[in-house]
Amino acid sequence: MSLALAIDCSAPEIGLAMGSLGDPRPRWAWSARADRGADGLLGPALVEALAQRAAGEALQHVIVAVGPGTFTGLRVGLATALGVALAAEVPVIPVCSLLARAAQITDEVDVLALLDGRKQRMYGASFRCGPGLPLARGPVADLPLDALLPAGHFVAVGEGAVVAAARVEAAGGRVHPQASAPPLGALLRVGALLPAMDPAAVELRYVRPPDAVVPAALAARRALGVGTTTST
């Protein structure tokens, strides 16, 4: 099986793993809590990951979680993944951060993957899991937790499940014991089931638009047809 590097920086606990594409047991894995300074931790870890290659063994894929998740973390992970892929001249396999978390479970159960979106909202998606690729029950959403909780029994994964454990359990959910860990083995596993692409074609899935607001005075003047927008 081909050698693959998996990267996940979607949540405060970030991770890297080196292993075989399709095999959920990494040859080497690293993770760390990085509420700040993920960039400083990831660089040395990457050197160590790349050192796991045997003599003459070439990296063949980079798998990266592309969101949703923390905006800055996603970009740290993607920029790193793209740099490795570009230098190694290998394709990238982008994986939804929530699907990767659901894919940690291979039993046939309903799974709710959650990542804390702050502002009292969660990034969430429901899946029917199994030995293959988790089957999405609906779109990836950015909503208050109550709007994401499914009816009936389910397993909750992702750092959001830990943050809101009491409410998840009150709704009939069971929080997975490894809920907040970066899903490195799952990335290696489902990477084999998803398309690889040229690094230039990989895009992040922020789900939430940026908090960019046109200043009121500018907007009012434009509404009146006053002023110009000049870009030079």
Partner 1 sequence: MIVLGIETSCDETAVGVVGPEGVLSDVIHSQDMHAEYGGVVPELASRAHAEKLVVSVRAALAQAGVQRPDVIAATAGPGLVGAVLVGLCHGKALAATWGLPFFGVNHLEAHLLSPLLDQPAPQFPFLSLVVSGGHTALYLAHGLGRYEVVAQTIDDAAGEAYDKVARMLDLGYPGGPVVDRLAATGDPTAVALPRPRPRAELPQTLRRGLSLARSDLDMSFSGLKTAVGAALAGPQPPSPADLCASFQEAVVDVLCDRISRAAQRTGVRRIAIGGGVAANGRLRARVAALGLEAFLPPRARCTDNGAMIANVGRLRALSGPPDPLSLTARAGWPPGAEPSA
Residue 141 beta carbon to partner 1: minimum distance, rounded to whole angstroms = 20
Query: Which candidate, 40, 2, 33, places its Cα nearest to that of 19?
Result: 2
Binding to partner 1 by residue 214, rule CB under 8 A?
Answer: yes
Answer for which of 54, 57, 151, 230 binds partner 1 (CB under 8 A) is 230
- Greatest CA separation found in the chain? 67
Cβ closest to partner 1, residue 151 vs residue 216 = 216
- Residue listed under structure tokens 């992040």: 204
CA pair distance 121, 222, nearest whole angstrom? 33
Answer for which of 4, 14, 84, 168 binds partner 1 (CB under 8 A) is 84
Binding to partner 1 by residue 211, rule CB under 8 A?
Answer: yes
Residue 82 beta carbon to partner 1: minimum distance, rounded to whole angstroms = 5
CA pair distance 186, 125, nearest whole angstrom? 16
Q: Are 193 and 213 in contact (CB under 8 A)?
A: no
Binding to partner 1 by residue 82, rule CB under 8 A?
Answer: yes
Stretch that binds partner 1, among 18-26, 78-86, 117-125, 130-138 (CB under 8 A): 78-86
Query: Which candidate, 95, 161, 88, places its Cα nearest to that of 123?
Result: 161
Determine the residue type at 149. Answer: L
Binding to partner 1 by residue 216, rule CB under 8 A?
Answer: no
Residue 198 beta carbon to partner 1: minimum distance, rounded to whole angstroms = 8
Answer for which of 47, 54, 166, 223 binds partner 1 (CB under 8 A) is 47
Binding to partner 1 by residue 75, rule CB under 8 A?
Answer: yes
Cβ closest to partner 1, residue 76 vs residue 190 = 76
Answer for which of 88, 109, 133, 197 binds partner 1 (CB under 8 A) is 88
Number of residues that bind partner 1 (CB under 8 A): 45
Answer for which of 23, 27, 32, 50 binds partner 1 (CB under 8 A) is 50
Residue 42 beta carbon to partner 1: minimum distance, rounded to whole angstroms = 7
Q: Which residues bind partner 1 (CB under 8 A)?
A: 37, 39-44, 46-47, 50, 59, 71-72, 75-76, 78-84, 86-88, 199-200, 203-204, 206, 210-215, 218, 221, 226-232
